[in-house]
Amino acid sequence: MVDLKSLSQKELDAFIKNQGLPNYRADQLIHWIYARYASQIDEITEFSRDLRSRLNKSAYISNLKIIQRLKSSDGTEKFLFALQDEQTIESVLIPDSDRLTLCVSSQVGCALGCLFCLTGKGGFIRNLKAHEIVDQIIAVNRTIQNNKITNIVFMGMGEPLMNFDNVVEALRRIVDLIGISKRKITLSTAGIVSKMLLLPRKAPEVNLAVSLNAATDEVRNKIMPVNKRYPLAALIEACRRYPLKPGRRITFEYVMIDGLNASLDDAKRLITLLKGLRCKLNLIPLNPHQGGNLKRPSREKVIAFQKMLFHHNRRAMIRESRGQDILAACGQLRANQ
């Protein structure tokens, strides 16, 4: 049996051709899967009953299964999905004025083991396939009905650039088949330098965010073990070489951890590190997960850090964690199963 969602656009065209059907049937299939969110072939009413019966003998439409859905007091929603092999992944829906952003996962678990992230503590299990990434969007859009996701961030479970081929194919489908603008998609990486410069050559020109979190190798090695393989000098050089169109910037995410990276001296080192780069910073006060022993800096420290950056003409926004009452940080809901 062929899972129609697993097929790329070219593969769907070939499938329809092999069925002896006209080319326009492939366009209809794409419309029903990616715009109408059909969960089974029998829902495709543009096809005759005989055609649906015939296709059901050789193909099906897979679907993520929602096994938990939680809604926060701030409007954030978290979805825990079961995959066909019974592994689980998370997505987070974040409303913000006229935007509805979905944070999607790219892997089951993560191999990077960042100090502040619960996902990595459970280890890496497997990469998500392209259709499993895209299906998070389809499943949520089908569920919320009256609204539609406007923005996508690859900031959920996993490191997107360590699942490069599937993420590139997912990005193509999100832009070409679902119809979300590439300017409204952000991919966040911990700094997989070997893939960063390949991304704009292979995928739609989405926004790039880099999880930085330190301004020295000594501190970043403690927070993010990936830095031992791709140290700051290599990472920043890749950021300088990253092709940016006029008006575009790289976003640096900076999780602030008291006693590690949140002092004014850390801010000064960060200013020096990013000198000359077209970028903006998101300052994210730590969201301590259950069992963690890291501490969130005081509000006064966070504001002083931001003011130091402002003083040196650096754009820096403080991003408060959303959905703390529903375990919305990466890996929390899955870890509690």
Annotated catalytic residue 90: yes
Active-site residue identified among 110, 117, 239, 330: 330
Report how far residue 289's alpha carbon sits from residue 323's, in angstroms, rounded to the nearest whole number: 12
By the 8 A CB rule, do 95 and 75 touch? yes
- Match 């000198």 to its residue by tokens: 275
Contacts of 141 (CB under 8 A, 6+ apart): 37, 148, 149
Q: Sign (positive/negative) of CA torsion 172, 69, 107, 103?
A: positive
| Residue 312: its H or E element | none
By the 8 A CB rule, do 106 and 133 touch? yes
Contacts of 153 (CB under 8 A, 6+ apart): 101, 102, 103, 104, 185, 186, 187, 188, 209
- 156: its two tokens: 């959920």
Rg from Cα positions in the chain: 21
Largest CA distance in the chain: 71
Report how far residue 27's alpha carbon sits from residue 177's, in angstroms, rounded to the nearest whole number: 10
- Give the angle subtended at the CA of 36 by the CAs of 35 and 38, to the nearest 5°: 125
Report how far residue 317's alpha carbon sits from residue 306's, in angstroms, rounded to the nearest whole number: 8
Annotated catalytic residue 46: no
Active-site residue identified among 77, 90, 159, 253: 90
Strand-strand pairing, 124-127 and 151-154: unpaired
Strand-strand pairing, 185-189 and 207-211: parallel
Q: Residues in the chain, how many?
A: 337
Catalytic residues: 90, 330
